[in-house]
Amino acid sequence: MPIKSFNYPILKQIILIVGDVVIINSSIFLSAIIRLGLDVGWDYIKSNLLSFMLTSGVFVFTFSFAELYDTRRNFKSIGNIITVTFASASAFVVTTVLFYVTWSLRIGRGVFIILGLLIALFIIGWRLLYSYLLERQIFKWNTLIIGAGGAGNVILQEIKRSEKSGLRAIGFIDDDPLKKGKLIDGIPVVGDRYSLDKVIRQNNINLIVEAITHEKPADLIKALIDYSRHGIDVIDMPTMYERLTGKIPFKYIKDVWMSQLVINKSRLYGKIVKPIIEVFSALILFVLLIPIMGIISLLVKVSSRGRVFYTQERVGRYGKKFMIIKFRTMRENAESDTGAVYTTDKDPRVTKVGKFLRKWRLDEIPQLLNVIKGDMSLIGPRPEREIFIKEFEEKIPFYSLRLAAKPGLTGWAQVKYPYASSVEQTEEKFEYDLYYIKNMSFLLDFVVLLKTIKVVLFGRGK
């Protein structure tokens, strides 16, 4: 029987991080003992505690950067084992550089080399064990979906995609007599709400996902409350979808749910802490990047006729308009013949230098000025043009809620999904934006920052 605590992605990430910290610190202890002996080794650890704490932090940071805390990974695959090895080697190199920069913190080479080897070996073993355990019956959650309509089918697909979620879809409950006994993507409709007790007992159900978009019968609501009191997790479809995907399924939620999304978002962090941190950070980044901006300005100027900078009116928080500034990446007056259109892959209007700038996201650097002025944040939904906002508001429900947060230079949607060039793609990016608005926090901003650095370093922009 599975353990009585649903292993959400965040819980599994915590398990991975805690496991890494334990392994790294155990490796520190063993490396000192192997090299120096028990007594001397223990004294060595105590006298170099700050250095070992730094080592532990660098390894965890590097693993996070390499997305080794993505719980959907199968760590038994050769590709992921190579990634773990490469990340461990990278952390070793970074730590070595830091020790040479801060010479007083350095660790003896013998201890440090043994430490690196032990960490790489034990981390690989820990990841293999982690993936193996998740496949065991004890970590599997028998899941019952109430509602075999569109919302139920969508959550079933996400459960199947998230192989490492620990969820096993047992069946659907639906009151429609025409659906009883039918298979939906291989999963049966096992009964109606009147047979709920029997289905739960026979299938040892641990989790119920409520995926009904219309009004729910009072007796079903009462039953779900009772099941929750007796130790069965009951979760609504939008919440489960959010936890599995990092998106919010706006097509399957009601107005009240959506209004709470904005009302309940962090006020202290979003309104006070975040702006102060970001303006201060933007000022420092702008000063440090002045030499790079000078080189980019020269490249833009000599590669094509026209201005170095490109300004355009965008819509910010609560509909406030402002002028965004970027390095020009298209030929001058690119929309003179076409009007406002989506940027597409291999867009002929993009210059050769512009293509390079877009790939490495370097065209966005001047927007640090927008952050300093207060029109934008470092992290948030990307600012859009008014003409597109009006179009999307007609086609995408709740689209105006994007304006509840200050637009950002980068964002959750940008690091999770490439540029959108259609309404369908915009819908998916909107789901990520809603997730960010609902879950805005220092931790989420830090994750977005790490992923943005990775996008820039590996040229994964458009």
Residue 353: pLDDT band by 50, 70, 90 thresholds?
very high
Domain count, the chain: 3
Residue after which a domain boundary falls, among 245, 276, 307? 245
* DSSP letter (8 states) at residue 176: -
Q: What is the pLDDT of residue 139?
A: 66
Q: Taking 80 as the threshold, does the pLDDT of residue 61 lie above it?
A: yes
From 100, 118, 134, the end of a domain falls on 134
Does residue 250 sit within a domain?
no
List the structure tokens of 408: 């950002």
Distance CA(275)–CA(280), nearest Å, equals: 8
Any domain includes 313: yes
- 300 lies in a domain? yes
More confident residue, 75 or 356: 356
368-421 per-position pLDDT tens digit = 999 999 999 999 999 999 999 999 999 998 898 899 899 999 999 998 887 777
Residues 305 and 392 in one domain: yes
Does residue 378 contact residue 340 with C-beta atoms inside 8 Å? Answer: no
Residue 206: give its domain's CATH number.
Answer: 3.40.50.720
Q: Which element (helix H / strand E) includes 113?
A: helix 109-134
Has residue 73 got a pLDDT over 50?
yes
For residues 428 and 346, membership in a common domain is answered with yes
Look at residue 286 and tell me whether its pLDDT is greater than 90.
yes
Convert 218-255 to b/e letters by CB count within 10 Å (16 or more is b). eebeebbeebeeeebbbbbbbebbbbbbbbbbbebbee
Count CB neighbours of 260 within 10 A.
13
Q: In what order do the strands lie in the sheet with 233-236?
A: 183-184, 187-191, 167-173, 141-146, 207-210, 233-236
Asked whether residue 257 is assigned to any structural domain, the reply reads no
Residue 262 is predicted with a pLDDT of: 64
pLDDT of the residue at 71: 72
Residues 130 and 154 reside in one and the same domain: no
Q: Which H or E element spans position 309? A: strand 309-315
Residue 146: the pLDDT is 97
SS3 of residue 352 by DSSP = helix
Domain range enclosing 332: 268-457
Tell me the average pLDDT across 156-163: 88
* pLDDT of amino acid 9: 59
- Tokens 């929750």 belong to 228
Same domain membership, residue 69 and residue 18 = yes
Q: 173 and 65: one domain?
A: no
Q: How much of the chain exceeds pLDDT 90, in percent? A: 43
CB of 410 closer than 8 Å to CB of 377 = no
pLDDT of residue 4: 42
Distance CA 306, CA 78 (A): 50
Question: In DSSP terms, which residues pair with 323 in a beta bridge?
Answer: 313
**pLDDT for the residue numbered 345:** 64
Residue 452 is predicted with a pLDDT of 87
Q: Residue 239 and residue 155: Cα distance in Å, rounded? A: 10
Question: Which has more pLDDT, 435 or 131?
Answer: 435
Whether 105 is covered by a domain: the verdict is: yes
Residue 150 has pLDDT above 80, yes or no: yes
Residue 181, both tokens:
């006994």
Predicted pLDDT at 3: 38
Query: Nearest CA to 51 among 111, 141, 11?
Result: 111
- pLDDT value of residue 13: 79
What is the C-alpha separation between 72 and 312, in angstroms, rounded?
39
The Cα–Cα gap between 77 and 329 comes to 40
Question: What is residue 231's three-state secondary structure?
Answer: coil
Q: Which of 233, 240, 383 is nearest to 315 (CA)?
A: 383
Would residue 254 count as lying in a domain? no
Residues 287 and 219 in one domain: no
pLDDT given at position 7: 43
Rounded Cα distance between 371 and 267, Å, is 19
- Which stretch of DSSP H or E encloses residue 168? strand 167-173
The pLDDT of residue 1: 38
Phi-psi category of 166—alpha, beta or left, where left has phi over 0 and alpha has psi -120 to 50? left
Same domain, 153 and 81: no
Eight-state DSSP code of residue 271: I
Residue 91 domain-assigned (yes or no): yes
Note whether 38 and 76 are same-domain residues: yes
Do 145 and 129 belong to one domain? no
pLDDT band at 340 (very low <50, low <70, confident <90, very high): low
CA distance 299 to 413: 29
**104 burial level (CB within 10 Å; 0-12, 13-18, 19+):** exposed
Percent over 70 (pLDDT), the chain: 89
What is the rounded distance in angstroms from the CA atom of residue 24 to the CA atom of residue 88? 11
> Of 89-103, 104-118, 380-394, 448-462, which one has max mean pLDDT?
380-394
Please tell me the predicted confidence (pLDDT) of residue 2: 40
Q: What is the mean pLDDT of residues 60-76?
A: 80
331 and 403 share one domain: yes
What is the rounded average pLDDT for all residues in the chain? 86
| Res 265: pLDDT | 57
Is residue 315 located within the same domain as residue 414? yes
pLDDT tens profile 3-58: 344 445 567 778 888 899 899 888 888 988 898 888 887 887 888 788 888 888 88
The whole-number average pLDDT for the span 255-272 is: 71
- Of 86, 112, 134, the last residue of a domain is 134
Q: Mind listing the pLDDT tens digit for each residue in 411-460?
A: 999 988 877 778 889 999 999 999 999 888 887 898 888 888 877 877 66
| 42 and 166 fall within a common domain | no
Rounded to an integer, the average pLDDT of 346-358 is 87
In a domain, 82, yes or no: yes
pLDDT of residue 195: 95
Of 139-143, 175-179, 305-309, give the lowest mean pLDDT range. Answer: 139-143
**pLDDT tens profile 265-275:** 557 788 889 99
